[in-house]
Amino acid sequence: MEEQTLSGITMEEKEKSMNWGESNRLTLSQLKPGEQGRVMVIEGGRGIRQKLFLRGLFEGSVVRVISCYGPVTVEVDRNTVSIGRGMAQKIVVRRM
């Protein structure tokens, strides 16, 4: 059984509908300092999605990586947010 997102669409279906290739599919922890990306999918349950939402990170938000050494520090909506590497690996972004 395939894992579904909260919207009921599988990740594969979402990728096909957005028409973005594997070369652009990165996790937030893979972006380098100074790079920007748009959050496409958050792979995880309700708890992690809620924690990230409260910090301003949700599907569609634009982030700029400030630091990726130790915790991943990003700027989102003029706010600086630091999250753990494990959490950052659950955030799929498209490089901008």
pLDDT in tens, 76-96: 999 999 999 999 999 999 998
Write down the pLDDT at residue 17. 43
Superfamily of domain 23-95: Ferrous iron transport protein A (FeoA) (2.30.30.90)
User: Element (H or E) spanning 52, and its range?
Assistant: helix 46-54
Q: How do the domains of the chain map onto residue ranges?
A: 23-95
Model pLDDT for residues 40-72, shown as the tens digit of each residue: 999 999 999 999 999 999 999 999 999 998 999
Lowest mean pLDDT among 5-9, 32-36, 43-47: 5-9
Q: Which residue has the tokens 């799929």?
A: 92
At 12, is the pLDDT very low, low, confident or very high (cuts 50, 70, 90)? low
Contact predicate 29/89, CB 8 Å: yes
Give the three-class secondary structure for 87.
helix
Write down the pLDDT at residue 23. 61
How far is the C-alpha of 90 from the C-alpha of 67, rounded, in Å? Answer: 17
